[in-house]
Amino acid sequence: MKTFAEFGLEPKVLQAITELGFEESTPIQDKSIPVAMTGRDLIGQAQTGTGKTAAFGIPLINKIPTSEDRIVALIMTPTRELAIQVADEIGKLTRYKGLRSLPIYGGQEIGRQIRALKKRPQIIIGTPGRLLDHINRKTIRLDDVQTVVLDEADEMLDMGFMEDIQSILKLVPEERQTMLFSATMPLNIQKLAQQFLKDPEHVSVIPKQVTAPSIEQAYIEVHERQKFEALSRLLDMESPELAIIFGRTKRRVDELSEALQKRGYSADGLHGDLSQNQRDNVMRKFRDGSIDVLVATDVAARGLDVSGVTHVINFDLPQDPESYVHRIGRTGRAGKEGTAWSFVTPREIDHLHFIERITRQRMNRKPLPSLAEAIEGKQRVTAERVLEVVQNEEFSEYKAIAIQLLEQYDSVHLLAATIKLLTGEKKDVDIELTPEEPLRAKKRRPDIRSNGRPFNRSSSSYGGNRSGGSGGGGGYRGRDDRRSSGGGGYRGNNSSGGSYENRGSGGYSKRSSSEGRSSENRRPRPSDDFTNS
Ligand SMILES: Nc1ncnc2c1ncn2[C@@H]1O[C@H](COP(=O)(O)OP(=O)(O)OP(=O)(O)O)[C@@H](O)[C@H]1O
Ligand SMILES: [Mg+2]
């Protein structure tokens, strides 16, 4: 691990990094930044939450001269939320250098984006559909782009963006630097990389398991109809600081977030059918803590970085192991602890084992939390709240009544009654969710993992297997950098139908974007009912 000063970055970039509180580089940054600074193409792979954004963001920002007034860097992300988040981080990194960066994504009023483009940003962070829309309108020109980054490239392909990405990349000058980053590297990336990257350096930090070791993983076997009860008990027992609950479909997310609200939890839902305003609102509330449970489809599975997410709950198991890795990677980020729970119906046990095999990580089987555990959990939280007031707040105005009450009643009685009152009974409302079909177990496609190794190699210029991360430091615990064939390159066959928002089936894509519908001359995507980007 290095300090950032050792990379020979511009002082203003360094200053911004310091301000962000980054003390040491993470292993993927350690390896990527020097390579990227030489201008070489790069394929970067590292676990979720290990700082890939800065790994490409820092060298990208470093090389752009402040005097530049053309679009010289383009970052593509699969979802709108991710575009906003990456733009935010890039914005922070360029604070002192004073570069201009702009997120460009579907759902936002295009006129507003056009006005912002007139301020001549040097860095554009966008989702492919809307980018193409601007390109067609000639409001964005890519003739001067020198650096392209594909973040979560595999996801963009799964979402049906292959053609869009190809069209975009063909418009970027050949003499450019292209960087591709992801936590997992399935094979379809290979095709894209071969087509668009020149002699890329593979930079990977892949431990034996693809999931971060800071995430504790558990599952509970439940029947479909018990799931909601299990969830509310689990939430009560664990009392997460912030939790993300993944549901399989948009309907599921709607029903579940509504049900949680009815039961008194501070929850809201996020999926691709909501308006961009609604999506932004929900994310803002979740980021600032005014809701503490985010219920989402896989639209929130990728790349999202919200600090304080202590729990990820798979209310429905994800379709494939890759999605599992990304979902649970929303917790346990930047070396913090996190817990991931998955609900598994009896018929899905095989599917769970399949996920375990591919991720090379066992999940601990846990019993359904009992009512007693749930109540105890809630009481504990209330007691903590009371103690917090005792220790940190002024309450002398309440003392007179306390003394009065204590003259008549026993203190234990009084306190117990107060805690009962504060804990609040769960509102007794009937909850009924539309059941989801169980996922069927899948066979692993043998060609994928056995051959899917090229992206897992450490780059030869680093001596092949140089360890950059074992032990971890600076808040990044227990990462590991062994070369492994188990890092990625998997993709489950998709056997289930239904209106999944999240996964394309096998090779074809079910996901697409509704952005850019306004542009007449675009071909419709395979399915237009997804609005992820
Ligand atoms: N060197 C560093 N030191 C401390 N924190 C860091 C460092 N680099 C990045 N971070 C923080 O770590 C968090 C995760 O970073 P980031 O979102 O880039 O992860 P990622 O590897 O892209 O994850 P994912 O695979 O989920 O997209 C962010 O909050 C980021 O600010
Ligand atoms: Mg990321």
21: closest CA among 301, 290, 307, 303? 307
Measured in Å, how far apart are the chain's first and last C-alpha atoms?
35
* Residue nearest (by alpha carbon) to ligand 1 atom 12: 334
Question: What DSSP designation does 320 have?
Answer: S
- Does residue 486 have a pLDDT over 90? no
Least distant ligand from the CA of 301: 1
**Range 166-180 average pLDDT:** 96
Q: Are 262 and 311 in contact (CB under 8 A)?
A: no
Question: What DSSP designation does 508 have?
Answer: S
The tokens describing 509, both together, are: 């894509």
Q: Could you give the 3-state DSSP secondary structure of residue 131?
A: helix
Q: Is 303 in the pocket of ligand 1 (CB under 6 A)?
A: yes
Q: What band does 442 get if pLDDT is binned at 50, 70 and 90?
A: low
Q: Are 422 and 385 in contact (CB under 8 A)?
A: yes
- Atom of ligand 1 at shortest distance to CA of 330? 26
Contacts of residue 351, defined as CB under 8 A and 6 or more positions apart, other chains included, come to 317, 344, 439, 440, 441, 442
Q: What band does 2 get if pLDDT is binned at 50, 70 and 90?
A: confident
Q: Could you give the 3-state DSSP secondary structure of residue 13?
A: helix
311: closest CA among 267, 351, 259? 267
- Each domain of the chain, given as residue ranges in start order, spans 4-204, 215-369, 372-423, 456-533
Q: Are 491 and 322 in contact (CB under 8 A)?
A: yes
- Atom of ligand 1 at shortest distance to CA of 89? 31
Residue to mutate (ligand 1; options 53, 84, 323; most atoms within 8 A of CB)? 53
* Strand order, beta sheet including 267-270: 267-270, 293-296, 242-246, 309-314, 338-344, 215-221, 364-366
- Decide if 4-204 and 215-369 have a common fold: yes
Least distant ligand from the CA of 334: 1
Q: Is 44 in the pocket of ligand 1 (CB under 6 A)?
A: no
Q: Is 56 in the pocket of ligand 1 (CB under 6 A)?
A: no
User: Candidates 3.50.50.60, 3.40.980.10, 1.10.357.10, 3.40.50.300; correct CATH number of 4-204?
Assistant: 3.40.50.300
Q: Is 329 in the pocket of ligand 1 (CB under 6 A)?
A: yes
285: closest CA among 271, 306, 264? 306
Q: What band does 518 get if pLDDT is binned at 50, 70 and 90?
A: very low
- The residue among 27 and 451 whose pLDDT is bigger is 27
- Does residue 517 have a pLDDT over 90? no
Best mean pLDDT range from 86-95, 174-183, 503-512: 86-95
- Atom of ligand 1 at shortest distance to CA of 82? 27
- Does residue 59 have a pLDDT over 80? yes
Per-residue model confidence as pLDDT tens digits over 237-248: 999 999 999 999
Helix (H), strand (E) at residue 502: none
Q: How many helices (H) and strands (E) does the chain have?
A: 18, 14
Least distant ligand from the CA of 21: 1
Q: Is 479 in the pocket of ligand 1 (CB under 6 A)?
A: no
Least distant ligand from the CA of 51: 1
What is the per-residue DSSP string for 240-279? -SEEEEE-SSHHHHHHHHHHHHHTT--EEEE-TTS-HHHH
Question: What DSSP designation does 308 have?
Answer: T
Q: What band does 213 get if pLDDT is binned at 50, 70 and 90?
A: confident
* Residue nearest (by alpha carbon) to ligand 1 atom 14: 49
CA 462 to chain centre: 29
Please give the Cα distance from 489 to 491 (Å, whole number).
7
Cα of 51 vs centre of ligand 2, distance in Å, is 7
354: closest CA among 509, 228, 219, 224? 219
pLDDT of residue 211: 76
Please give the Cα distance from 188 to 182 (Å, whole number).
13
What is the per-residue DSSP string for 392-415? HS--GGGHHHHHHHHHHS-HHHHH
Fold held by 215-369: Rossmann fold (3.40.50)
What is the per-residue DSSP string for 431-484? ---PPPPPPPP----HHHHHH--GGGSPPGGGTTT--S-SS--TT--S------
Q: Is 78 in the pocket of ligand 1 (CB under 6 A)?
A: no
SS (H, E, C) 163-210: HHHHHHHHCCCCCCEEEEEECCCCCHHHHHHHHHCCCCEEEEECCCCC
pLDDT of residue 191: 79
E strand spans, 65-117: 73-76, 101-104
Q: Are 179 and 203 in contact (CB under 8 A)?
A: no
Q: Are 14 and 5 in contact (CB under 8 A)?
A: yes
Least distant ligand from the CA of 476: 1
pLDDT of residue 6: 94
The tokens describing 59, both together, are: 């060298």
Virtual torsion, Cα 260, 265, 266, 271, nearest 10 deg:
-20
ipTM score of the complex? 0.99
Please give the Cα distance from 354 to 377 (Å, whole number).
32
The tokens describing 27, both together, are: 């292993």
Place of tokens 């975009």: 168
DSSP β-bridge partners for residue 215: 338
Mean pLDDT of the chain, nearest integer: 83
CA 402 to chain centre: 48
Q: Compute and round to an integer the Cα radius of gyration of the chain.
A: 24
- Atom of ligand 1 at shortest distance to CA of 46? 21
Q: Is 7 in the pocket of ligand 1 (CB under 6 A)?
A: no
189: closest CA among 458, 460, 442, 490? 490
Please give the Cα distance from 71 to 392 (Å, whole number).
51
pLDDT of residue 440: 75
243: closest CA among 262, 227, 267? 267
Contacts of residue 283, defined as CB under 8 A and 6 or more positions apart, other chains included, come to 81, 84, 270
pLDDT of residue 272: 94
Please give the Cα distance from 478 to 191 (Å, whole number).
33
- Does residue 530 have a pLDDT over 80? no
Cα of 91 vs centre of ligand 2, distance in Å, is 15
Q: Is 25 in the pocket of ligand 1 (CB under 6 A)?
A: yes
Q: Is 183 in the pocket of ligand 1 (CB under 6 A)?
A: yes
pLDDT of residue 479: 28
Please give the Cα distance from 338 to 167 (Å, whole number).
39
Q: Are 252 and 315 in contact (CB under 8 A)?
A: yes
Q: Is 27 in the pocket of ligand 1 (CB under 6 A)?
A: no
